[in-house]
Amino acid sequence: MELDQPQFIDNLERVKACLRIEDEMWLDFLQMSKLDYLRFKSGAKPLPEDKLAAVAGLAGVSEEAILSNQINFRALRPLRASNIEVPPRYQKAAYGRWRSSSFSLDFIEAKYGWKARLGCMRNFGLEESLVNNPFGRVSMQFITDLCDYLHRCQYSDKDIYDMGSYTHIANRSTLIGQAYSQAESPKKVYEMFLNSVELYEKNCLYEFVRVTDSDCAIKARSIKDVAEEMGAPHLGSARVCKWKEGFFASLVSYLDLPWPEVRETSCVHRGDEFCLFEIDYGYAQVVSKLRQDH
């Protein structure tokens, strides 16, 4: 097997990060100076003999896994005791599931790399073991904080929209994804979503204001008791609504049809009475009908 040196180096760096080993301890473990390690990372110096086996043993993986990029990094546990509970901020009014939130973290890693994901996780005091249970409970405060954090880090509204739409990639192999893929029309997909919304969350109420073969309008309101428990007049934020735009747009993708245009025409975070998402899937319906006719 030909060694992919940059990938090998990146794997070692990620092992170090997942195990939460400080720089000084890491250099001592590898028996390398800071300068030697920088040379190793640049490809100018090899890893000391027998240190690959030592790192593999420390992480509980095989040497081949590190060399061939076959490590399940999310299964690695920090060497020192760390937070094994969801932070209290995200336990309060925990009526959502980790499924959608963890997919958002997956999007960050897929687009910006594991270091960006790790930075988010550490910013919120989370470990992988906490977010990898799709049915685990979490407050809507987490996705709100995540969207606002990304905004502060100069991520664009398009990034947050794309993060919401990423759920269709992660969900395709799930039971709900397979059910969506069997729908006979775009309209039916949105009807199925409203009938199964409690699988995603119990924070907001969603209802059709209008639904036709070519478009629909979905009204969203915070559940009053949940908002009161959270201590806020409304759940989420304007950026969470941008995430929802992406999510709503992605539903048609389960049918492999052109994506609809989604616009939020009223929003509680702009002073309106409720959030209203207008979804135009007319072109997708035309393509769907043509397929059925042929």
Query: CA gyration radius for the chain?
Result: 23
Q: Enter the pTM of the model.
A: 0.86
Of 17-21, 74-78, 113-117, the poorest mean pLDDT is in: 74-78
- Residue 275 CA to residue 53 CA, distance in Å, equals 56
Can you tell me whether residue 262 is helix, strand or coil?
Answer: strand
Q: Residue 31 phi/psi, 5° resolution?
A: 55, 50
Residues 16-36 have pLDDT tens digits of: 999 989 999 999 999 999 999
- Which structure tokens are listed for 243? 């995430």
Confidence at residue 3, expressed as pLDDT on a 0 to 100 scale: 63
* Sheet strand arrangement including 215-222: 204-211, 215-222, 275-280, 261-266
pLDDT at residue 82, as a whole number: 60
Q: Tell which wins on pLDDT, 129 or 272.
A: 272
Kindly report each contact of residues 61-70 with a partner whose C-beta sits within 8 Å and lies 24 or more positions away, as own/partner: 61/15, 66/8, 66/11, 66/12, 66/15, 67/1, 67/3, 67/8, 67/11, 68/1, 69/4, 69/7, 69/11
- The highest-confidence range among 38-42, 43-47, 172-176, 217-221, by mean pLDDT, is 217-221
State the Cα–Cα distance between residues 169 and 160, nearest whole angstrom. 15
Which pLDDT does position 85 carry in this prediction?
82
pLDDT (mean) for 217-232: 94
Least confident residue range of 60-64, 87-91, 96-100, 177-181: 96-100
DSSP labels, 116-157 = HHHHHHHHTT--HHHHS-TT-EE-THHHHHHHHHHHHTT--H
Of 267, 266, 263, nearest in space to 279 by CA? 263
Tell me, what's the pLDDT at 48?
84
Q: In whole angstroms, what separates CA 223 from the centre of its chain?
A: 24
Instruction: Confirm if 35 and 45 have CB atoms less than 8 A apart.
Output: no
Q: What is the pLDDT of residue 96?
A: 87
2, pLDDT greater than 60: no
Taking residues 69-83, report their average pLDDT: 81
Least confident of 32-46, 71-85, 227-241: 71-85
DSSP state at residue 173: T
Per 3-state DSSP, the chain is made up of helix, strand and coil in percentages (nearest 5) of: 55, 10, 30
Residue 216 has pLDDT above 80, yes or no: yes
Give the pair of three-digit tokens for residue 109. 């890693």
Specify the pLDDT at position 168. Answer: 86
Summary mean pLDDT of the chain: 91
180-186, Cβ contacts within 8 angstroms, sequence gap of 24 or more: 180/251, 180/254, 180/255, 181/254, 181/255, 183/254, 183/255, 184/292, 185/213, 185/285, 185/288, 186/251, 186/252, 186/255, 186/257, 186/260, 186/281, 186/284, 186/285, 186/288
- Beta bridge partner(s), residue 215: 280
Label residue 8 exposed, middle or buried (CB < 10 Å: 0-12, 13-18, 19+). middle
pLDDT class of 286 with cuts at 50, 70, 90: very high
Angstrom distances, CA of residue 175 to CA of 18, 103, 137, 182, 251:
31, 16, 19, 11, 14
Q: Work out the average pLDDT over 210-235.
A: 95
Q: Please tell me the predicted confidence (pLDDT) of residue 264.
A: 98
Supply the pLDDT for residue 131. Answer: 84
The CA angle 249-267-156, to the nearest 5 degrees, is 60
